[in-house]
Amino acid sequence: MSDSEATPAEVAAAAQPPDTPGPQTVDTSNEALRDGVNRCPKCGSTDIQLRVSAGMLVCLFCRYEWSEAMIEPKVSGEAPLQDLTDTVVASGATDISPEVSGVITLKCAGCGSEVVVNTAAAMSSRCHWCRHVLTINEQVPNGAVPDAVLPFGITRDQAVQHIRDFAGARRLFAHRRFRSDFAPEKVVGVYLPYMVVDGNASADVQGFGEVETRRYTRRNGDHDETYYDADVYQVGRHVDFTVDDLTIESSAERANMNAFVNTNNVINTILPFDTKSAVQWNANYLVGFTSERRDQDVAQVQPVLEDQLLSIARSQVEGSVARYNRGVRWEAEHLSVHGTRWVSMYLPVWLYSFYFEENGRAMVHYIAVNGRTGETMGSVPVSQGRLILAALTVGTVLEGIALWLLVVMS
């Protein structure tokens, strides 16, 4: 083959670095609902809502029940997690566009009228002419429509009872204002936005471990002090691991863990959710409930994912460093994320909130119930006076027991 002179354009093209491939996108949109009209498969009515006790959609006209397809087969594929080497983002988890309004206009398929829906307040509306119910099912990039929804499985009455039991067990130390104003019937069913993440990762950790060789005491004034000798070893570990359906908050407000203004962290204490049971998005699952819109993208929650992955890596190596009975101090950690898969999902929570202000300090207390398992956790405002009285009472009792023992043993 003879040499040929390259053109300036070819030289410039060859000098450019190759394009960095973007994340792969998996389309999870519900094709059957693109027109915004979700009709009963049996009678065609659009009056549909969730029957919580069965986790099924029910037609309010003919009482026919059905469910959307599971989301898991659509996003996971057949390859095992350890073969995941790319960033895969489901279409409902793609980046939010600031140019896209939360106000959407739907064209009624029944009569042709246009109906405006503000997705910040609702995900469905009724046509004012023909009374068809129109729902937001198209995945517009404003964070309002996720890939999947995990339907409520705990009824409102069950949630109220869980909240009553939780608050009742803490009633002794609860503030009198909470006891007088407590109204669990005001519980609200809310779908909270989460990123559900699969990951393939590895980690290297380096540090120093100590093995105790001798323990002894020395007199220091009027008391003894305990000392120990230890051998110090340099410790390094490598671990490969995968995570399946790790849940991360994708609402900035809900991810705010400032314990001085709210008790958002209680939401994390009612995990896990059975996310494998999540179904393809259908706005009718939200009828009768409220929801929060996702306002964080994959890049914004990536640091949270990496922190959780490092925590998992540390727990994975714990068993291999048990011989260091004085513990291991990790001083260097390196995480490699080989591949991730992101799905945007609404998870169900029954939420009771109580606004409490005292001495110029305000805080919102929450009692949360997992909408699938019934796991309940929360925070109630306490009476400092009752706590002090209880401490004094316990102290008096302990002192009495100590005096009785001294009398018996003397």
Q: What does the pLDDT average to over 142-170?
A: 90
Instruction: Indicate yes or no: pTM above 0.75.
Output: yes
Nearest Cα residue to 337 out of 240, 409, 215, 206: 240
Each residue of 47-85: pLDDT tens digit? Answer: 899 999 999 999 999 999 999 999 999 998 778 999 999
Read off the pLDDT of residues 210-230 as tens digits, 9 standing for 90 and up. 999 999 999 888 888 999 999
Residue 304: other Cβ atoms inside 10 A: 17
What is the DSSP code string of 203-219?
EEEEEEEEEEEEEEEEE
- Please list, in sequence order, all residues whose beta carbon lies within 8 angstroms of the beta carbon of residue 285, skipping any fewer than 6 positions away: 50, 57, 68, 149, 151, 191, 279, 346
DSSP state at residue 392: H
Residue 17: per-residue pLDDT: 47
Q: Give the start-to-end residue ranges of the domains of the chain.
A: 19-379
What percentage of the chain reaches a pLDDT higher than 90?
48
> By mean pLDDT, which of 135-149, 330-344, 379-393 is the weakest?
379-393
Q: What is the pLDDT of residue 204?
A: 97
